[in-house]
Amino acid sequence: MTMKIGVVTFPGTLDDRDAQRAVRIAGATAVPLWHADANLHKVDAVVLPGGFSYGDYLRCGAIAAQAPVTEAIIKAANGGLPVLGICNGFQVLVESHLLPGGLIRNEAQHFICRDQKLRVENINTPWTNQFELNQEITIPLKNGEGGYIATDETLKRLEGEGLVAFRYLDGNPNGSMNDIAGLRNERGNVVGLMPHPEHAVEAGFGPDTNIAMRSGIDGLKFFTSVINALVNA
């Protein structure tokens, strides 16, 4: 039986169909989850995709953090359900307090869209177990409010406990503190990052590599990792 991975759609979500496609390419079944429906339909994991949920009103991710489906996800995440937040999904995780800190306007004030090199710094999560520690990967980045910010105390804890999952390499695109691109929670089941793994899952449609144009599929391992974690659970 294939794994069921839920992909949430809020009003204003943009990358839900790409995330569903990534789930399918990785070999699982994508289950669409609707913001107003608190039923998670017995999925084995959840992806909160990118976009501009609720028009970024109030703050990015703030209203989505209060949605019925998010309430159910918070409860399930606290019970160990693997949850991946990408871009706006990362903002939703932060606003839901499933991950600490906040995300503010990019330092240079510009929306940035480019292929971004990252270092995978934590592979003890269901979303990163197929990577090698400190592996360098390239996946697309596209955000206007991706500057990670946290109190000194929180930063110290994140670094001390090894909760930084991804760090920007070759230039910090948005002024994120400590070059943080993504985090995991203490338990490891919740992972959030600003760059977009779901846009780097199929040769011909990913970032350029040394081998060929658009052949980069580093993002696929996020999705094969969670399938691997679920199979071995």
Partner 1 sequence: MPKIIVEVMPKEVLLDPQGKAVANSLHRTGHKDITAVRIGKRIELHFDRPVTEADVAAAQKIGESFLSNAVIEDVVAVTVEDN
Chain residues that interact with partner 1, rule: CB under 8 A: 58-59, 62, 66, 95, 101-102, 104-105, 107, 109, 149-151
CB of 186 to partner 1, least distance (A): 18
Indicate which residue of 35, 87, 95, 145 is catalytic.
87
Tell me if residue 121 is catalytic.
no
Give the C-alpha separation, 38 to 221, whole Å: 28
Question: Shortest distance, CB of residue 53 to partner 1, whole angstroms?
Answer: 15
Let me know: does 23 contact 30? Beta carbons within 8 Å. yes
Strands, E, within the chain: which ranges? 4-9, 29-34, 45-48, 83-86, 102-104, 112-120, 136-143, 147-149, 164-168, 180-184, 190-193
Q: Please identify which of the residues 35, 145, 198, 199 carries the catalytic annotation.
A: 198
Told to judge if 113 belongs to the known catalytic residues of this protein, a careful annotator would answer no
Nearer to partner 1 by Cβ, of 17 and 105: the residue is: 105
Nearer to partner 1, 44 or 95 (CB): 95
Please state whether 162 falls in left (phi above 0), alpha (psi between -120 and 50) or beta. left
Nearer to partner 1, 108 or 133 (CB): 108
Out of 60, 121, 145, 196, pick the active-site residue. 196
At its nearest, how many Å lie between partner 1 and the CB of residue 69? 17
Measured from the CB atom, the residue of 25 and 62 that comes closer to partner 1 is 62
Residue whose token pair is 């939703």: 92
71 is catalytic: no
CA R_g for the chain:
16
For residue 82, give every residue at least 6 positions away whose Cβ sits within 8 Å of its Cβ, in sequence order, or none.
44, 45, 46, 126, 127, 189, 190, 191, 226, 229, 230
**Closest distance between partner 1 and the C-beta of residue 52, in Å?**
17
As annotated, the active-site residues are 87, 196, 198
